[in-house]
Structure 1
Amino acid sequence: MKKFPWKSSFRKLPSNFQSNLDNIESDFVKVAATKIISRKEIGDGLYAHVGLRCENDALVIDEPSIPLVGTGKWSDRNALGWDNKREDWPKVHKTWTFEAPNFGDGARNGWSMRSRTREVYQHQIFEPQGMTIVPEILDDRGDDKVVVKFEISPILSRVMPEFDLMLLWSINVLQENTGVANVFASSATHSDFLETITLEWKIFPSGTVEEVIAQLKGHDLAQNQVDFERHVQDRILFFENFKPEAYVRGQGGFGSYFGAKFSDNFVVFENLKYGNAIYLLYENWEEVSKRSRLDLLRDSDAHFDRVTHSEGWQLRLKALLQDKLHEFGLGPRRRMRKSTRRGR
């Protein structure tokens, strides 16, 4: 973990922050702070990770980027997501898939994927939040000291789910990376806030790999996505084995989602920008599609499964898909008849 010469984070909201928050009448809150920094510190690269650096003796501000993994616990959660075990919630039944030897001897009889269901604690899943730190030089008189404002994007709304947690999360991301943090009223409007959190969902009919990729590329899904075409092609080839009725994509400031729709109550998707897990969602898709990206998976895992991209994830996803298709009456025979009627 990268070490900085300042306090890394807070376990709870400091009292002076709470006092400032209590005096804010606006529904919208921004996490920001100003700091007097020496030009030498900037030249030495102390703030290069947040886009503030020195080039030929001139101060340079780069485009905002997500704080690096390894900066601190809250920065890691911001970039990778967070699986929060809730022992205070009722237990639910969950299914696991695993590879096991046939008849006790894998070398002789081979291996196959098995499933097991048991009662477990629920987990609250937070997708990567994608917060960025935006620096702004407020005062530079050419001497050794520079006044800089650091601000977290996006802003927060008091009515958003888990506001207290998201406020602490934002404050700690800023604190870990800059050594300062505070809260202020934001002049943003409701529309400004919605633009930072909403996802535009589109559904594309199933087709050939080339047709689906062409449709997705035509809707800016590939923007800022490394190896987009190869990534989506791999997923489509995988999904086509299970005959999805359509493909889905969600696009917004947060990132891009892509997946396959098997029915109104069964959608499989992942975030292309981060790609750390694939989600199998079982709630009604019409309802889920109206959620903001902040609400999309900030929920208990009682109604979805999450397959992280660790070793063997394709086999685990395949076994789980087969189980769920059978459970929802979407087994191979029914899916094949449906594909034949479409002339596939």
Structure 2
Amino acid sequence: MIISKTRINNLETQFKNQEEGTAIIISVSNIDRFNNLNKIGFTQDLEIGEQVLPTIGSGAGKHSTITRFNSEGSYIKRPELGKETKYYQRSLTWKQWCGRGETKEVTEICTIPYERVYREPIAPPSIELRIVEKEGQKIIIADKKFIYKKDDELLKHTINLFLELFKECEILKEDLSELTDLINLKRLNWELLPKGKMPWGKLKEHLKPVLEQTKKTKRVADEARIKYINSHNPTMTFIGTAGFTGYVGFEFKEFTILESLIYGNAIYVFDKNWMEFSKLTKKEILDADLHMKRIIHKDGWETEVNDLFKNIKNPNNTH
């Protein structure tokens, strides 16, 4: 069954001849006809087993609503719960009087608090796409198999994700295990940078495409955080690609630090090494139960980061 339209509003209309309880997967075939596969995050080779979280705005059309929700989630405003205080950092530059008729330019990073109506977050579905082989041909499928139910919101989201990306999708009844070998899985959501110490100038070059997407007023603050974390000499550095673009990860012996340059307003610390971390989906990464510490982008964040390393040297330190 092929669905070819912009978006669906309910499943029952599309599956009117299908009984609930049927195992299905969402797919597209003849993938060579799509010219946005690299933009989505796949390589030029389109190898069997490549799996990726679709890049926001990588669809065949002009809309990015579904890919954005899939990658970043959303929120519900809850005015009955009052307001919440949020923070953002920006740089301020001014001319400072030095005496004798001279001035000098001074730049300072400041933290600005603001209040907004409380927002209840909606976790991103984080549906990933995988290239598999079917009857000697490469096809793209969703990484999740569904048992059809007419009120399955995740299934509806996945179909709409394919429609935004490809303007069509095909519903297959075959079992996913018959289509792909998970041993061949090659996640493309992270780019591993060369091992060893990474001087800030070199790391900044790797991050240039991402930094250029940030607002100039907060770019100095963003660079300061990355530079400070990098100064602690991580054993591994990795940057997000595809739908993970904007994230920078630092692996240390005892934990992994994840910083977002585009989305969110916090540094996340995970008790996981690179190999374990790279296997997580975005939904799992952002799950509040997985990170061991969350450091808000506000005054004092350097101290909190530094305390992570102090506690390693002094394991009995409970500060």
TM-score by length of 1: 0.48
Aligned-pair distance for 1:113? 1.4
Question: Which residue pairs with 2:304 in the alignment?
Answer: 327
Q: Percent identity?
A: 12
1: CA distance between counterparts of 2:6 and 2:61?
9
Shift, 1:265, TM fit = 6.6
After TM superposition, the structure 1 stretch with the greater mean CA deviation from structure 2, 172-181 or 293-302, is 293-302
Q: Which runs of 5+ in 2 are unaligned?
A: 38-44, 98-102, 210-222, 314-319
The equivalent of 1:23 in structure 2 is 21
Match of 2:284 in 1: 296
Note the C-alpha offset of 1:300.
6.5
Label 1:327 to 1:32 Cα distance change in 2 as closer, same or farther (>3 A). Answer: closer
Residue equivalent to 2:214:
none
Distance change (3 Å), C-alpha of 1:112 and 1:103: same
> Secondary structure at 1:153's aligned position in 2?
strand
One-letter amino acid of the structure 1 residue matched with residue 106 of structure 2: G
2:317 is aligned to none
RMSD: 6.3
1:224-243 deviations in Å (ceiling 9; x for gaps): xxxx9951799999356642
Q: CA deviation at 1:260?
A: 1.5
Asked if 1:238 corresponds to 2:227, the answer is yes
Q: Partner letter of residue 303 of structure 2? A: H
Cα 1:293–1:268 shift into 2, 3 Å: same
Q: Which residue in the other structure is 1:174 paired with? A: 162
* 1:209 matches 2:184: no
Residues 248 and 229 (structure 1), Cα distance of their counterparts in 2 relative to 1, 3 Å cut: closer
What is aligned with 1:141?
Answer: none
1:32-43 superposed matches below 5 A: 32=27
How far off its partner does 1:267 sit?
0.8
Matches within 5 A, 1:1-344: 7-17=5-15, 20=18, 22-24=20-22, 26=23, 29-32=24-27, 47-49=33-35, 63=46, 68-69=58-59, 71-73=61-63, 77=67, 81-87=71-77, 93-100=85-92, 110-117=106-113, 120-124=118-122, 126=124, 131=129, 152-158=140-146, 164-176=152-164, 179-189=167-177, 192=181, 207-209=196-198, 230-231=205-206, 238=227, 242-249=231-238, 259-261=249-251, 267-269=257-259, 280-282=266-268, 284-286=270-272, 289=277, 292-297=280-285, 299=287, 320=297, 323-330=300-307
Q: Return closer, same or farther for 1:298/1:278 CA change in 2, 3 Å cut-off.
A: closer
Deviations 1:252-284 (A, max 9, x none): 9998985224685761256xxxx9658854354
| Contact persistence 1:152–1:170 (CA under 8 A) | no
Q: Distance in 2 between matches of 1:241 and 1:249?
A: 11
Q: Secondary structure at the match of 2:112?
A: strand
How far does residue 128 in structure 1 lie from its aligned partner after superposition?
7.2
Paired with 1:292 and 1:103, the residues of 2 have a C-alpha distance of 47
**Equivalent residue letter for 2:111:** S
The DSSP-based 3-state class of the residue aligned with 1:169 is helix
CA contact (8 A) 2:72 2:123 kept: yes
**Partner SS, residue 259 of structure 1:** strand
Cα distance in 2 for residues equivalent to 1:16 and 1:130:
22
Structure 2 CA distance for partners of 1:177 and 1:199, relative to 1, 3 Å: closer
What is the aligned residue count?
261
Give the residue type in structure 2 aligned to 1:87. K
Pick 1 or 2: higher relative contact order, CA cutoff 8 A, min separation 6: 2
Question: Which ranges of structure 1 fall in alignment gaps of 5 or more residues?
Answer: 1-5, 36-44, 52-61, 139-148, 214-227, 307-318, 339-344
**TM-score (norm. length: structure 2):** 0.50
Once the 2 structures are TM-superposed, how far is the Cα of residue 247 of structure 1 from its aligned partner? 2.8
Change (3 A) 1:279 1:116: closer
